[in-house]
Amino acid sequence: MSNPTPSLIDCAASLSSLSLTRYNTLGLACQAKHVLTLASQAQLPEVTALVRKAGGVLVLGGGSNVVLPATLEGLVVRVALKGIAAVAESEQTSTSDQPSQEKAFWRIDVAAGENWHAWVETATRNGWFGLENLALIPGTVGAAPVQNIGAYGVELQERIESVTAWHIPEGKLVTLSREECDFAYRDSIFKRALPGTWLIVSVRFLLAKQWVPVLTYPDLKKHPVLTSLESTGVKAQQILDAVCDIRRAKLPDPDILGNAGSFFKNPVVSEARYRALKGKFADLVAYPQPDQTFKLAAGWLIERCGWKGKRLGRVGVHDRQALVLVNYGGAHASELLSLAQEVSASVRAQFGVELEVEPVVVS
Ligand code: EPU
């Protein structure tokens, strides 16, 4: 983020200085000089005006996927837009001479500042099923499309119709269809765009009324409650509860131990590379992808390099999921990033595989 001209934005009454330590799930110490809390869409034109003066912006949702520096001189917008509204239902429109073209769906608009897990619980309670596999992911609804969150066999892109976002440089609201969001594994148009381009305002979910449980993921298949039920008899709430159980057993609670979930993406390699590695390491964990590539379990690679549970000063590698780096308290971004570099270097040395950091590193 480029430096602002303080004299220009210092005079904006809506800005305040704020410690962001409580607003990033890694709990990294970060003092921000110019923070705007966005509680209403009416403030969006002000965002554009301020960004033009400041020369850049960091848009912060739940802070669950960012590595923040010790001080932020530039403009920060904290998204606090709220609201959940079921907007329309599409019904099956089959007639005797025209077979059904469209399945029945719920369409629900959710404001970007809503807490992700609270929304998943509300949806499940209201009978809007399909999000239960994504329970307990930290962060906000607005942050979810940025990295196309995914867990336990479901990715966000399979459950949304569109995303409405403020195009900051042009100062206008744009609705992008799912195709236009150009989603990929932990990636989207929003993640690839230059910082300061998009501010997500709301997400329109499209949830099929004819719910089909997704129980393909190995951990879910093994869960005692779910295995005891026929797949047709499973309720969405039971999947939600099972996902919460599994996540709580493996992943640290950010309120207790600072973390940003997976710190690295699972690396994707060619079939030839996968076969060569599998030849050497018979217990390598990998998932075949539709395009003949293989996604390797980075947690397995990191654990194999001996990092699981290792601590370096105030940061470390989680003892139940090696893909998660943790802040034991008071750490700065530099400590975490040097641990990440050491982890990547040993995975490169042992397996010849490059790890890519998953959260956005803000400088
Ligand atoms: N594994 C190890 N050691 C570890 C961790 C994992 O050997 O320390 C092996 C396990 O054997 C397991 C395999 O790796 O069979 C996969 O582990 P897990 O099921 O925990 O999933 P993951 O691939 O490590 C991904 C997502 C998670 C998501 C889970 C469940 C990424 C980068 N991470 O992790 O997402 O919750 O699948 O779907 O794709 C996140 O993005 O923050 C996140 C937590």
Q: According to CATH, where is 3.30.465.10 located in the chain?
A: 84-89+104-249
Q: What is the pLDDT of residues 196-206, one digit of tens each?
A: 999 999 999 99
Q: Please state, for a pLDDT cut of 70, what percent of the chain lies above it.
A: 92
- Tell me what the pLDDT averaged over the chain comes to: 92
Q: Ligand 1: which of 300, 308, 319 to mutate, judged by most atoms within 8 Å of the beta carbon?
A: 300
Rg (CA), the chain: 22
The boundaries of every CATH 3.30.43.10 domain in the chain are 9-79
Best residue for ligand 1 mutational test, from 26, 295, 323, 360 (most atoms within 8 Å of Cβ): 323
Which atom of ligand 1 has the smallest separation from the CA of 295? 23
pLDDT tens across 222-259, in order?
898 888 876 668 999 999 999 999 999 999 999 999 99
Q: Is the pLDDT of residue 6 over 90?
A: no
Give the pLDDT of residue 92. 56
| Structure confidence by residue, pLDDT tens digits, 147-156 | 999 999 999 9
**63-81, pLDDT tens digit by residue?**
999 999 999 999 999 999 9
At the topology level of CATH, where does 84-89+104-249 sit?
3.30.465
Rounded CA-CA distance 327/160 in Å is 33
The reported pLDDT for the residue numbered 53 is 92
The closest of 64, 192, 198 to 140, measured between CA atoms, is 64
- Say whether pLDDT at 8 is over 80: no
Ligand 1 centroid to Cα of residue 151, in Å, is 9
Look at residue 79 in the predicted model and tell me its pLDDT. 97
In the chain, CATH 3.90.78.10 sits at 256-361
CATH number assigned to the domain covering 9-79: 3.30.43.10
Q: Which fold has domain 256-361?
A: 3.90.78
CA 267/CA 264 separation, integer angstroms = 8
Q: Decide: 47 and 166 in contact? Cβ < 8 Å.
A: yes
- Residues having CB closer than 6 A to ligand 1 are 151-152, 217, 219, 250-251, 261-262, 265-266, 285, 297, 299-300, 303, 308, 321-323, 358
**Closest atom of ligand 1 relative to the 261 alpha carbon:** 42
Q: What is the pLDDT of residues 12-48, one digit of tens each?
A: 678 889 999 999 999 999 999 999 999 999 999 999 9
User: Which tens digits make up the pLDDT trace of 275-315?
Assistant: 999 999 999 999 999 999 999 999 999 999 999 999 999 99
pLDDT digits (tens, 9 = 90+) for 87-143: 877 765 555 455 454 579 999 999 999 999 999 999 999 999 999 999 999 999 999
Model pTM above 0.85: yes
